[in-house]
Amino acid sequence: MNLKQKRIAAGRFVLIILSTLTGIVYLGSRKTETHAQNQVPQHARVSAIADWSHRHSVYSAPSSVAQSLKLQSEPRYQLQLQRRRATQPQSDGVRK
């Protein structure tokens, strides 16, 4: 094999490698959805209005069923429950 034939063979080898890599990159990029797009969010952000009057009315746990039913219609009580649930650490079911 002379030098010219070696260069032609080396050029073909490089061309085959580049074509293979280009095909792999092309097929890998054809996926239209990413893994993050398929995931369902674990929580949804909910905005709540809080003005000065929400800080001054703090509800304790209801002591009777009647009081519990009455508090269910209080929007400030519902917002307080939501705020308290949001600040509680999420338990994973494992006790320490």
Is the predicted pLDDT of residue 95 greater than 60, yes or no? Answer: no
Q: If pLDDT is split at 50, 70 and 90, which confidence band does 20 have?
A: very high
Q: What is the 3-state secondary structure (H, E, C) of 37-94?
A: HHCCCCCCCCCCCCCHHHHHCCCCCCCCHHHHHHHHCCHHHHHHHHHHHHHCCCCCCC
Question: pLDDT tens digit string along 55-92?
Answer: 677 888 889 999 988 988 888 888 888 888 877 776 65
- pLDDT digits over 27-60, tens only? 877 766 666 666 666 666 767 677 776 667 788 8
Q: Give the span between the Cα atoms of 54 and 75, in whole angstroms.
A: 10
Q: Which amino acid type is present at position 39?
A: Q
